Amino acid sequence: MHHSTILFDLDGTLTDPREGITRSIQHALAKLGIDEPDLTKLEPFIGPPLLQAFMEFYGFDEARAWEAVGHYRERFKTVGLYENLLFDGVLEMLEHLRGQGRTLYVATSKPSVFAREIARHFAFDHHFKVIYGSELDGTRTNKIELIAHLIAEERLDPEHTLMIGDRKHDLIGAHRNGLQAVGVGYGFGSHAELMAESPAYYYATLPALRAAFS
């Protein structure tokens, strides 16, 4: 993979946010009178834009979905974003890529304010030129719009830019902007979900992804 610029998704690609996100979703649902004791049922919320996920998975209208997002953020901004783990080997991989002279960015649907705090707290922010996320009002939660914005702001050449992510949204966003994409199988998207979007590359494990850059 020759690309000089690499965009990384955050949740499920660099970090495992399972506990923080699912517990914050559980908190939001409880505030709306919905009891969901099984956190594994809330894992589909990891990756897609949160507002749309509440509407899709619980049938909320937009107003109720925004209410749920507000309750989610009450917990997430103070507790949930720290209930997170870097995948083993991520720091070494980022160090290796920078050593090869590549420029790295984060492209996440998560609000920028949260993504930057996670990167700072877990001490990987210095590996990235800029961390791009959405706005709190929902602007650029769509990966197509987010990647388009990043490319325009940074004046990137799509031919030399690669997107790496664990969900279909990452691959769709890349393809719609003329980028090649890597699907990774250690996150939250199934093999079938990723392969349906025809990634240029697929790596089931983080060591396999790391080895591909050697």
55 SS3 class: helix
Q: Which is the catalytic residue, given 9, 11, 16, 166?
A: 9
User: Exposure of 79 by Cβ count < 10 A (0-12 exposed, 13-18 middle, 19+ buried)?
Assistant: middle
Ranges assigned E (strand) in 88-128: 103-111
The count of other CB atoms within 10 Å of the CB of residue 148 is 16
To the query of whether residue 9 is one of the catalytic residues in this protein, the response is yes
| All residues at 6 or more sequence positions from 66 whose CB lies less than 8 Å from its CB, including other chains | 51
Cα distance between residue 97 and residue 99, in whole Å: 5
* Residues forming beta bridges with residue 202, ordered by sequence position: 183
CA 11 to chain centre: 4
* Dihedral angle, C-alpha 103, 109, 111, 115, nearest 10 °: -40
Residue of 127, 119, 108, 92 lying closest to 210 (CA atoms):
92
Provide the annotated active-site residues. Answer: 9
